[in-house]
Chain A
Amino acid sequence: MEDAIVVVSRPDKEKVEAILKKTGMPTEELKCSLCGEPITDLSRIRAIFPYHSALICCDKFECLVACRDKLILESAPK
């Protein structure tokens, strides 16, 4: 059985940067992977998923769903 580890954390600058570094994403300009808006206020970041290049999701419902859709389309047959 696969393990599904979910890390829950406060959105501090240091932690977000460490996660981005781990997932190989640039840390200079943080922006939502779905809507493309810059996330200057870190309380607006909701999740980061390490798939291919990391998926960064902001607090908008549309982005939450779009991010989930990207995850469920993972390894779909072409």
Chain B
Amino acid sequence: MSLLLSSLVSWSQLGDLIEPLKEFFQQFYWEIIFLILFAIIGSVYLFGRDRVRRYLFRRKIAPKVQEIVSVYEKEVLPDYVETKPKIIVAEKTQEIPTDLPFGYVFVPEGQEELVWNTLIAYIPICCSLRKIKLLFDETLRKSLFDLLSYELGLKMGKENFAVAYRDHGLKEYEQDYKVMESLYKDKKLTVVILLEASIRLRKTKGHVTASDVEEFSTLVRKIAQVDAIVIRVGGKNPIRVEEIVANGRGVVFLARGKNIKRVKQLSSELEANGFVKVPEEELGLPNPEEGIWYFTYPKVNQVPFMRVWLKPGQGISKER
């Protein structure tokens, strides 16, 4: 009985409390609503800001990296991209992988544009020519990567960064930079030099000696001096023998797979028009050369290839 009485008293006391509370809520209705909203926004910011920052950082950086790798693969060094870097955006210390990666690149907040320069410098060495580079001597190797960074910078529309690599190459090893530039311009870099390097590398089974480097580097410098344009047979554009004859320059035909037949036909037509095969002693390479082209990316594949060097014969040279 006493228990029932005491609970009735506390209920009446509670009623006394509710009335002023009700008044308080009515008086400060909007203030309370704003306070609750503020608390919700505050807690979202406090607990979600890391996630938002990480999302924004990834959104700013990941497309840049994908774009630059794609341009490098398709426009700068086709056929010789061995791997695409896997990018890990680590916003927290715990997200840093336990295994050692290729490298750590830092992007200060608000300076995302500067990441281009770092990527232009390191994407070529990260994605390509990891083993092949061993066959080039020091200055040729540096020139090669300066040139690739320059071309990549240009293709990305970052001329300011690009020219710095060209200037560096011309300042430090002018002759070798020009060798690489001429090889790249005439498309001999991929079709002749890197192909030859990969063949030699396979023959050495990866054990490149100082003599291998010396011999190959001599060949690279020599090939740059041979006046010839490279024509890949099998593309969409038709190849006109008359135009090649009229041009008067030497020509290097390269074909893979079923297009080899067409190369043989084109060579015969050119020889009928006064062109001759460049002697092997003069070239330092087998001519014509037939072998296997090894693809490593995007999947391992092997196809036969053929390469033929032809130059205008005595008669044509005199006419010009």
Contact = CB atoms under 8 A, between A and B. Distances in A.
Interface in B38-84: 57, 61, 65, 82-84
25 contacts: A3-B86, A4-B83, A4-B101, A4-B127, A5-B86, A6-B122, A6-B126, A7-B101, A8-B65, A8-B104, A9-B89, A11-B108, A15-B90, A22-B100, A23-B100, A46-B118, A47-B105, A50-B101, A61-B168, A64-B117, A64-B121, A68-B122, A68-B145, A72-B141, A76-B134
Interface string B195-213: 0000000000000111011
Contacts of B86: 3-6
A70 B225 CA distance: 29
A77 B93 contact: no
A18 B105 contact: no
A67 B122 CA distance: 10
B88 interface: yes
A50 B103 contact: yes
B212 A77 contact: yes
Classify the interface of chain A: helix, strand, loop or mixed. Answer: mixed
Contacts of A61: 117, 164, 168
Given A11-B106, A77-B213, A43 B111 contact: yes
Interface of B: 57, 61, 65, 82-91, 93, 96-109, 111, 114-115, 117-118, 121-122, 125-127, 130, 133-134, 138, 141-142, 145-146, 164-165, 168, 208-210, 212-213, 296-297
The range of chain A's interface size is 35 or more
A48 interface: yes
B149 to A, nearest CB: 8
Interface string A1-33: 111111111111011101100110000000000
A31 B68 CA distance: 29
B106 A18 contact: no
A73 B125 CA distance: 11
A7 B96 CA distance: 7
Given A68-B121, A77-B208, A10 B138 contact: no
A40 to B, nearest CB: 14
A22 B141 contact: no
A19 B126 contact: no
Interface of A: 1-12, 14-16, 18-19, 22-23, 42-43, 45-50, 59, 61, 64-65, 67-69, 71-73, 75-78
Contact of A69 (B130, B142, B213): B142
Contacts of A45: 106
A26 to B, nearest CB: 17
Given A1-B296, A5-B88, A14-B93, A75 B126 contact: no
A68 B141 CA distance: 11
B125 A68 contact: yes
B108 A43 contact: yes
A6 B101 contact: yes
B238 to A, nearest CB: 36
Contacts of B133: 72
Given A64-B121, A69-B142, A5 B102 contact: yes
Contacts of B109: 10
Nearest to B118: A46
B103 A49 contact: yes
Contacts of B212: 77
Contacts of B134: 75-77
A39 to B, nearest CB: 10
A23 to B, nearest CB: 7
Contact of B85 (A6, A12, A15): A6
A37 B213 CA distance: 35
Most buried by B among A4, A16, A46, A75: A4
